[in-house]
Amino acid sequence: MSAYDPNFLDHYILPLPSFAPYLEVDIVRDDDRSSHYIADYVHYSLVMNGADERRSAAYVALNIDQSKFKTTSRSDRWRIDTRINKECQLDNAYYQNNDWDRGHLARRATAAWGDNPIEAQRASNETFYYTNACLQHVNLNRDEWLGLEDWVYDLNLDKDGKITSFSGPFYADYERSVHPSGHPLALVPAGFFKIVCFINTSDELEVRAFVMFQDEKALADKSGRKKYNNQTYQTTVAFIEELTGLQFEPEIYHANPMLHCTTATNISGPKIVDGEQVLIPELIEVAKPADIQNTTAKRQTVKDDVVDIYISAAMVNPKGRDKDNEWIALINLGAVDVDLTDWTLSDNQDKPVTIGKVVLAPGESVVVKQLGSIQLNNKGDVIKLFDNQENRIDWVNYTEKMVISGAPVLFLSPRDTLDLEV
């Protein structure tokens, strides 16, 4: 049973990523191991970032064969990998008595495949090394990150059930850390990335790339966008490279449907797509599998940062629970009038409701009261705003803990859902 195989996908070679110079100096090396730094396990390989404040995998590369999935038991016997200096690994002391899970980078259930149950069980057990774990908040590990992992596990866009994925953390300059007594401090990742590669039914390579942020403060100024904790974003491979310092095979870029730059000189900013101005690099929120952009379906044009109309608040749970009293408020924070005629609102069920004839002057707001087919879910939901050309203008989400009976949920103030109780 081999480790990561770059030839796993038919007709395509996907080598392990290389490193930008600033990351190269922190990569753990050992002349006794293959290529001096690659640690091999069953179906996956990784390299470690040995920087004192990180001590986590720089990436984990995993091969998945859905046709050979087997039911296995969960060992939960986490181990230090003795091939790697234990000082370069975060042991159980960093995951005790706090809100940080040992987040698998190579997921146990997804790695648990083989020609027979014994092989699959061995692969499952091999995921319980601290080198494959990362400080991942319990809310993220057991919800949104799990949802993304489930999407990979159930992926049905490939021709043969074979998938290659790259996963790992990224960091930023901020103060969130874990410092167990008697142990050196370790920074908590600002978030995590996942790149999923597969061969489609036309024998072509396809790629989907995602990031999730654990701390909205960590990269609050990156590209000028709002970022919310625990949110999945579909993005570009180049954006992930900027966050991580990793460098991926060029074919992976070309197979990803997301747009990264305005010209060949890699300039960020507005770009005209299908006659509409959108912000590049693309970073699109994903709340369910249907939101994921692909290479064949009509792409969703996102203009959140181009048009200054925002969803400011929503009455999700009115007193008396009368659904007819639910409402959604919009505000114009731009400098010009905006005609909202025939714009639509929808929830995560994608059931649109037309706003009607409304023109908002700068600073004005409107409350949309007749929501029709929209049923705002008290346990959490997504609200989307589209213009009359079906361009997405704004997107907000809320959790069950944000819903208070008789009080609106506000969307224009910073939120930190990671600090809420589990």
C-alpha torsion 55→222→248→286, nearest 10: 100
| Residue 176 and residue 215 in contact, taking contact as beta carbons nearer than 8 Å | yes
pLDDT mean over 248-268 = 70
105 DSSP β-pair partners: none
- The H or E element that residue 24 is part of is helix 21-24
Largest CA distance in the chain: 71
Q: What is the pLDDT of residues 52-74, one digit of tens each?
A: 999 999 999 999 999 999 999 99
Q: How far is Cα 164 from Cα 320, in angstroms, rounded to an integer?
A: 50
- The H or E element that residue 269 is part of is strand 269-273
**N-terminal to C-terminal alpha carbon distance within the chain:** 39
* E-assigned strand segments in 115-243: 133-137, 158-170, 177-178, 186-187, 191-200, 205-213, 232-235
122 DSSP β-pair partners: none
pLDDT mean over 390-415 = 81
Considering the domain 309-419 in this protein, what is its CATH number?
Answer: 2.60.40
**What pLDDT shows up at residue 244?**
95
Q: What is the pLDDT of residues 75-88, one digit of tens each?
A: 889 999 999 999 99
**What pLDDT shows up at residue 412?**
74
| Residue 371 and residue 327 in contact, taking contact as beta carbons nearer than 8 Å | yes
Q: How far is Cα 145 from Cα 2, in angstroms, rounded to an integer?
A: 26
**What pLDDT shows up at residue 277?**
54
Question: Which of 112-126, 181-195, 369-383 is predicted least confidently?
Answer: 369-383
Q: What is the pLDDT of residues 86-100, one digit of tens each?
A: 999 999 999 998 889
Sign of CA dihedral 261, 263, 267, 272: negative
Nearest Cα to 48, choosing from 6, 87, 92, 12? 87
pLDDT bracket for residue 417 (50, 70, 90): very low
Query: Could you give the percent of the chain with pLDDT greater than 90?
Result: 55
Q: What is the mean pLDDT of the chain?
A: 84
pLDDT bracket for residue 401 (50, 70, 90): confident
More confident site: 330 or 402: 330
Domain locations along the chain: 18-291, 309-419
Q: What is the pLDDT of residues 121-141, one digit of tens each?
A: 999 999 999 999 999 988 888
Q: What are residue 57's phi and psi, to 5 degrees?
A: -65, 135
Considering the domain 18-291 in this protein, what is its CATH number?
Answer: 3.40.570.10
Nearest Cα to 65, choosing from 172, 155, 135? 155
Q: How far is Cα 49 from Cα 299, in angstroms, rounded to an integer?
A: 36
**What pLDDT shows up at residue 224?**
39
**What pLDDT shows up at residue 102?**
94
**What pLDDT shows up at residue 319?**
83
DSSP collapsed to 3 states, 79-124: ECCCCCCHHHCCCHHHHCCCCEEEEECCCHHHHCECCCHHHHHHHH
